[in-house]
Amino acid sequence: MHWEKAIRQLCQARVEVLSGWLFEENRYSLICLILLMSGGAVYGASIGIWRDPTQAFYVAIKFPLLLGLTALGNALINGMLAQLLGAQISFRQSLLAVLMSYALLSIILGAFAPLSWFLVWHLPAMGSISQTLGYDLYLLINVILIIFAGVIANTQLYRLLIYICQDELKARKILIAWFVVNLFLGAQLSWNLRPFFGTPQLLVKFLRENPFDGSFYEAIFYIIINRLGV
Amino acid sequence: MNDETLASKESTEADNQPLAQKLPSKASVMQLIDALLKKPRDFFHHVQYEDFSLTNSLKLAFIALIGLLVYGVIMGSFSGNIQWIASPLKIIIGTTLTALLCYPSLYILIALSGADLRPGQIGILLTSSIALTAILLLGFAPIAFIFTFSIQTLPFMGLIHLILWLGSLYFSLNYLSKGLTQMGSKDVSLVKFWLTIFIITLLQMSTTLRPILGQESYLLTTEKKFFLHHWIESLEKAR
């Protein structure tokens, strides 16, 4: 397989080409997985580098792991939802469609990693007086970048779903259902695998103490309760 | 058939037609400059059909190098001394680094916009676009030279150079955008998004490699500064 051609085909998202991928046995699943891992690792490193080079190394492992685990963890339910909502595709094909979307997300983020590194170079460094400003700015810009890549990846996935279902309404329902379950599990996994950006006040670690204590949703709940003063 | 369809059909036919005058595989520097300025469509045709030799690509890089070098020397002449050498070097290094930093995102955004171009073709397009910027800067060099000996304050000189750079970039990036459209880009907004990123990175690079125009006790600094912040500070210093 020509890797560069695979990247181009994923980006161009010509549905007649990508739907062909769905019927190739396992070959394209491996390609998507490798693209997801490599793109995610490059971008992950650029996320962690502001905090510390060790953090960059950790996030280069954790970021692709987060995407891969989210796709695999939801493989079964995504396949069921797709069939339930009217797409004539197998579990393997629905997993591959999600992997394609995540691979595209990783490729886009990976392509912007050099610019992200350049940005880190100019932000107030860790340990400087204005480190909080640096941290907040870096967080904001990366969130914008992830949203940008996420919107593109989901738009391409939507086009593919329309082609598979031959019905815009069905495709939209499947996309929303997948988005919701992926976000649901992804948010929790990102909580378990934290830290990614690395809070300046905390030590650099691969995982926080007791990473499986509590959940993302509990944390949000308690933040809201504390803010409201209940 | 309406006008738009007719125009589009004519444009496609023109793109597919064989070139009246083919660019030689070992074109002279003047032939390449001529193609960039007068026959960009022919130039894009060569790139699109992978009919652009490595020798010509290297010559394009050479044109860019010479153009930036000459303009850099003129920039350096404002402060003199070590800046005669430091400015052209920084201009060349800064532009090259910016192009390298932005290249991966250009490749992905071009693919997302629907064009079917290989990394090598995109590399040639980007190099030719920088070469065009350098040629235009070379054209602006006499103007910059005259201002260099008239203007006394650093911020005003900086403003003149900024205007000349932006003017050159406007034409060269417009050329790049047109080329991508001719080669199959359907979503111009993605290309425009990249052009914005490129300009911002270039402006930031000029601050990273400071001082380029003025003269300080140091040749390079590790102090981090956003380019707008640097400009405002320079203005305040001059007052």
pTM metric for this prediction: 0.84
CB contact under 8 A, B105 and A115: yes
CA distances from A190 to A47, A184, A186 (A): 14, 10, 6
CB contact under 8 A, B104 and A110: yes
Q: Which residues of B touch A123 (CB under 8 A)?
A: 224
The tokens for B220 are 């390079």
Q: Are B107 and B174 in contact (CB under 8 A)?
A: no
Give the nearest chain A residue to B209 (CA atoms).
Answer: A122
**Pairwise CA distance, residues A4 & B232, whole Å:** 44
Q: Is the ipTM of this complex over 0.90?
A: no
Q: Which of B100, B104, B111 is closest, CB to CB, to A12?
A: B111
Residue position matching structure tokens 């403003």:
B159
The tokens for A171 are 């495709």
Q: Which of A7, A12, A118 is closest, CB to CB, to B101?
A: A118
Residue type, A79: G
* List of long-range contacts for A152-158, beta carbons under 8 Å, 24+ apart: A152/A104, A152/A105, A152/A108, A152/B112, A153/A101, A153/A102, A153/A104, A153/A105, A153/A108, A154/A101, A154/A179, A156/A10, A156/A13, A156/A100, A156/A101, A156/A104, A157/A97, A157/A98, A157/A100, A157/A101
**B208 vs A: CB within 8 A:** yes
**Pairwise CA distance, residues B99 & B102, whole Å:** 5
Q: Which residues of A touch B224 (CB under 8 A)?
A: 121-125
Helices (H) and strands (E) in chain B, counts: 9, 0
Question: In a 10 Å sphere around its CB, with 0-12 CB exposed, 13-18 middle and 19+ buried, how is residue A3 labelled?
Answer: exposed
The tokens for B178 are 């047109």
**B116 vs A: CB within 8 A:** yes
CB contact under 8 A, A111 and B105: yes
Q: Which residues of A touch B111 (CB under 8 A)?
A: 7-8, 11-12
CA distances from A177 to A117, B189, B226 (A): 35, 29, 42
Question: In a 10 Å sphere around its CB, with 0-12 CB exposed, 13-18 middle and 19+ buried, how is residue A138 labelled?
Answer: buried
Q: Which of B112, B119, B225 is closest, CB to CB, to A11?
A: B112
Comparing CA positions, the residue from B23, B46, B235, B193 lying closest to residue A149 is B193
Residue A203 is predicted with a pLDDT of: 87
Q: Which residues of B touch A2 (CB under 8 A)?
A: none
Q: List CB contacts of B218: < 8 A, sequence separation 6 or more.
A: B211
Q: Which residues of B touch A121 (CB under 8 A)?
A: 208, 224
Give the model confidence (pLDDT) of A136-169 as tens digits: 888 899 999 999 999 999 999 999 999 999 999 9
**Pairwise CA distance, residues A25 & B24, whole Å:** 46
**B121 vs A: CB within 8 A:** no
Residue A216 is predicted with a pLDDT of: 84
Distance from CA of A69 to the nearest CA of B (A): 25
Q: Which of A7, A12, A115 is closest, CB to CB, to B101?
A: A115
Q: Are B74 and B141 in contact (CB under 8 A)?
A: yes
Residue position matching structure tokens 């020397």:
B73
CB contact under 8 A, A123 and B102: no
A55, pLDDT greater than 90: yes
Q: Which residues of A touch B101 (CB under 8 A)?
A: 114-115, 118
Question: In a 10 Å sphere around its CB, with 0-12 CB exposed, 13-18 middle and 19+ buried, how is residue B137 labelled?
Answer: buried
Give the model confidence (pLDDT) of A110-123 as tens digits: 999 999 999 888 88
Distance from CA of A161 to the nearest CA of B (A): 18
**B107 vs A: CB within 8 A:** yes
Burial call A187-207: b when 16+ CB within 10 Å, e when fewer: eebebbbbbbbbeeeeebeee
**Pairwise CA distance, residues B51 & B36, whole Å:** 15
CB contact under 8 A, B114 and A12: yes
**B111 vs A: CB within 8 A:** yes
* List of long-range contacts for A21-26, beta carbons under 8 Å, 24+ apart: A21/A96, A21/A100, A22/A89, A22/A93, A22/A96, A22/A97, A22/A164, A23/A93
**C-alpha of A158 from chain center:** 16
**B19 vs A: CB within 8 A:** no
Confidence band of A107 (pLDDT split at 50, 70, 90): very high
Comparing CA positions, the residue from A36, A67, A79, A102 lying closest to residue A174 is A79
Angle, helices A53-73 vs A27-48, to 10°: value is 150
CB contact under 8 A, A11 and B111: yes
Give the nearest chain B residue to A122 (CA atoms).
Answer: B224
Sign (positive or negative) of CA dihedral B27, B30, B33, B37 = negative
Please give chain B's pLDDT, 239 residues, in tens: 444 444 444 444 445 555 556 788 888 899 999 888 988 888 888 888 888 888 999 999 999 999 999 999 999 999 888 889 999 999 999 999 999 999 999 999 999 998 889 999 999 999 999 999 999 999 999 999 888 888 888 888 999 999 999 999 999 999 999 999 988 888 888 889 999 999 999 999 999 998 888 888 888 888 888 888 888 888 888 77
The whole-chain average pLDDT of chain A stands at: 90
Residue B218 is predicted with a pLDDT of: 82
Q: To probe the interface with B, which of A5, A11, A100 has the most B CB atoms within 10 Å?
A: A11
Q: Which of A8, A107, A124 is closest, CB to CB, to B224?
A: A124
